[in-house]
Each structure stands twice: as C-alpha cells, then as structure tokens.
Amino acid sequence: MNDLTIRLTDTEGKCLYQQIYEHIRNEIRQGKLLAGEKLPSTRSLAEYLQVARSTVDFAYGQLTAEGYLEAKPCRGYFVSQVEDLFHLPEDKQGASASYEDAGFLGASFTENVSGTHLTSQRKETVQYDFSPHAISLKDFPYATWKKITKSILVDANSEMFALGDAQGDLGLRETIGRYLHSSRGVNCQPEQIIIGAGTDYLFMLLEKILGRHVPIAMEVPTYKRAYQVFQSFAYKIEAVPMDAYGMDIEKLRKSDARVAYIMPSHQYPTGVVMPIGRRMELLKWAREKEDRYLIEDDYDSEFRYKGKPIPSLQASDRDGRVIYMGTFSKSIAPAIRVGFMVLPLNLLKVYKENCGFYASTVSRIDQRILNEFIKDGYFERYLNKMRKTYRERHDFLLGKLGFFEKEFMISGENAGLHILLSSKSHIPERELLETALKNGIRLYGISDACMGKERNADTFFSSTVLLGYGALDKQELEAGIEALKKAWSLYL
C-alpha cells in the first residue's frame, strides 16, 4: 500500500471531500500512485484523516465513477490502468495559452465579410456610411413588439417551451402563406413552407435537398453572401452575364447549370427588375430537364416605389420549378432571424426524406410573436410606413444627385435600398471608394460581387459604386452628398 499523505486545510474554500478527491486524482495523474496499487480502505483513511467515513466514500466513489479507481468486491479500491496519463501536465492552461499564440484575439473577421466595402489598412473616420445592407430601425414599433411579447408570455405554457414542428409552427406558416399569396402572388400550401433561422440556414437545408456539387448559375454581378455560401457548399458556380433584363438566357443555356439563383424582383446589386419575358424564358429553361430549378431570392421586394410590387416568379410557375425564398431581415429587422422557403412539391418530398428530422431553428415564442405581429396587421402598417420613409429618402437622394450626372450614370432606382453611380469616364471603383473614404464617406463597390474572369470584363462593373440610403435620414443624406461633392470635386 502506498503511503498516502494528504494535507487537509480549511482555508482554500474547498470542502474536505474535494481535497481528498483532488489529491488522489493528482497523485494518479502524476504517476505517484501506479496502476494496480491498492488504496487504503475508506475506514482507515477516514480515521487517519479524522474525517467522516462518508466523506472518503464520496471521494472514492467519484474517482471510481471517473475511472481513476476500480472497486473490487470484498477487496477494496485499486488504481486503474490509465493510458498515457503522464501526458497530462496538470497546471498548464493549454488552451488559453496557445489561444493567444494563435493570434486570433482582436481579429474581427465577421466585420470584414459582412459588407463588401473597401478594406483599408488606414483607419479612416467614417462619418457617412452609405451601406446598402443597413436598414432604418428608428421607426420599428418597439412598443407594439413589446406588447405582443408580453401578452404571449402571459399565456406562455409549457407547450410553448416544448420542441415545435420541424418546418415551423403551422399557425405562422399559414399566416406567411396568406401574406405571400396576397402580396407576392405566391401559390402554396402552408405545408410547403419551411421556416428557418435566416437565409443562410435555409440555403444549408437546400443543399441537403438539391444534393452536392450542384452546378449553379449566378448572375454577374450577384449577391456576394449567397455566392460565398454556395462556394462553401462546393457547388460548381457558373458565372452567367446579365443584360438589361437579368440573367442572359443564351449564356445560361451554354452553361452546365441545373439550378439558377436569381433575384427577379430586384436584382442585387444592379437593381434590375426582370421583365415577364425573361421570367418565362427562365421557367422554360427549367422545364426542359427533369431536375432543373430556379432559386428565387425575394429579399427586398417589399420596397418598390413606383407602381405596385412586381409579382413573384413563383406566381408564374406552373411546373414546380421555383424555390421561393424570403426573409423578415429587411422588412422587420435583421435580428429577428426568421426566413422562409417555399418548396415545390417534388422537393418537399425530398426535404421530408432527407432533412425532416432536423429540428426547427426558431424558438416557438419568437414564432408566435411574429405570427401575431403579421396577423394583427402591424406588419402591413409598418411596411407601409417604411415604404413611405424609404421612398422619401430615395426621392430625396435622387434629387440631390443631379450634380453628379455629368460624370456618373445613375441606375437601380425605384426599388430596394440603394442606387448605383457608374463613372462615365471609367474612374476605377477603388479610386472612387478611396477618395470618398478619405473624406469620411463609406461607399460600397460591386467588383467583388463579380466572379472570376467576368470581374473586369465590363467597365460598368469596374467603375460603379453603391449608395445605400436605408439607414440615413434626409439630414444625413444631404450632408453626406455635400461631402461627396467635395470629395469628388476633381471629377465633376
């Protein structure tokens, strides 16, 4: 029997059981107690240490449960054979030490990828940020949201804390279905709708449905985040040029694509609205082969300032070829983390087989709040208000841009939350962004929304910048544009 010397103290704030447990564990870890050695009986150790026998029992029990000791009936406790214990330097805080070595601290990766802005080494002070992704949250009906939340929590019962339907609660799916039908002409049953925590997650589900290594057509330029996501799926991305009506159908036909990703209501970043003719051509292309599909990303169709909203592509689809995707990130708030996808029936079947077991990613309480917000008419009222707000900003900004028209072509107006300025004398995007940034104005380029060799093929894409106005009020827009006039005075 090994001589076990345990110094028990009252000062370290550790209970006696803990001290005994840790001491023996450390002795084993450090190789001072060897495999097969017998430990003192609980009775004798308790007497020796002048503690209750149950304290020692408890420590031995824990060590046995963790596998350091082995209890042999009628014979007592023995040290277990533990592989490689000598590799465990007890006090080295391995993880935290090597963490700092790896140089991750302070690196803010997410910030770099969330927008497509110029990454400048110099730290410039940005006074006016024309982000095309930002929205106005000042007018969000916080009080209403709080009121609904409160009323839902009052009724909250255990059922609402249980796991809900994998596709999302039926009530919310019915509400979204009705909304999509009336506002976007989408034809679907609630059973075809899948609610998920954001578009990226829904894309991940879609990967499981469409399969791997899918050859997917994307417009040049396109929405960068979707491009990144599809790339991370090892999809084979077919870069298809755009004309004034959207994706070039002839070039699409020449590609190997079996799926096409498009934003027919308002293409990002060009702002092109796809006319019905091109839509029909795309639907025809999809119909020609068994497994061709169109992914319609309807990310900001709510905001159209001329005429009524353009109906969705899905509304014209009679053959189950359109996967319709929407989100409340723009129309309510990004932090809501609720998006939805409408699957055609044949893909719904695949979803149920391949991913029906994935648990829902949105909490039921959040689903209920959102459902009430839409059903009770608050959503529509808020949309109307924001449409008005954004239209005013849009009109105000356009009105201020006359000064730039000599050098810049203005496009992408009438919808969404940004417009485009394209230099007629082909001033490079980088120069435009940098001269603005030096004067405290952050603009956004589109060259990184272009893929591969298409990137510099067209001077339009290499000398165009985006001005987002979603998060800027009139005063800020006015001041920002004045500053831009100064910054670009040499061009104008």
Window 247 to 306, contacts with its own copies (CB under 8 A): 273-281, 283-284, 306
Nearest-approach distance from CB 350 to its own copies, in angstroms: 11
The residue type of 476 is E
349-365 CB burial, b ≥16 within 10 A, e <16: eebeeebeebebbbebe
Shortest spacing between CB 58 and its own copies, in angstroms: 7
Position among 23, 38, 292, 352 found at the interface with its own copies (CB under 8 A): 352
Task: Answer yes or no whether residue 350 interacts with its own copies by CB under 8 A.
Answer: no
Give the C-alpha separation, 81 to 421, whole Å: 72
* Cβ pair 19, 8 in contact under 8 A: yes
Return the exposure string of 290-314: e unless at least 16 CB atoms fall within 10 Å of the residue's CB, then b. Answer: eebbbbbbbbbbbbbbeeebbbbbb
With respect to its own copies, which residue has the nearer C-beta, 220 or 315? 315
Here's the x/- map for its own copies, 51-90, by CB under 8 A: it reads as -------x--xx--xxxx-----------xxxxxx-xxx-
Residue selected from 7, 123, 138, 289 as contacting its own copies according to rule CB under 8 A: 138
Interface region with its own copies, contact rule CB under 8 A, candidates 359-367, 417-425, 428-436, 462-470 = 359-367
Q: Which stretch binds its own copies (CB under 8 A): 314-322, 419-427, 455-463, 484-492?
A: 314-322
Q: How far apart are CA 429 and CA 432, in angstroms?
A: 5
Q: For residue 482, which of 434, 440, 427, 446 has the smallest C-alpha distance?
A: 440
Residue 383 in contact with its own copies, rule: CB under 8 A: no
Q: Which of residues 162-201 bind its own copies (CB under 8 A)?
A: 162-167, 187-189, 191-192, 197-201
With tokens 């110029």, the residue in question is 118
d(CA 379, CA 372): 9
- Among the listed ranges 132-140, 371-379, 438-446, 480-488, the one in contact with its own copies (CB under 8 A) is 132-140
Cβ proximity to its own copies: between 362 and 450 the closer is 362
Interface residue with its own copies among 161, 376, 381, 486 (CB under 8 A) is: 161
Identity of residue 438: K
Interface residue with its own copies among 1, 34, 71, 153 (CB under 8 A) is 153
CB of 53 to its own copies, least distance (A): 16
Interface with its own copies includes 110 (CB under 8 A)?
yes
Nearer to its own copies, 137 or 492 (CB): 137
Q: Which is nearer to its own copies, 367 or 462 (CB)?
A: 367
Beta bridge partners of 260: 217, 294
Identify which of residues 239 and 369 has a Cβ nearer to its own copies in the complex.
369
The DSSP bridge pattern shows strands 418-423 and 408-411 to be: antiparallel
Does the protein bind its own copies through residue 48 (CB under 8 A)? no
CB of 236 closer than 8 Å to CB of 188: no
Residues 6+ apart with CB under 8 A from 71: 60, 64, 77
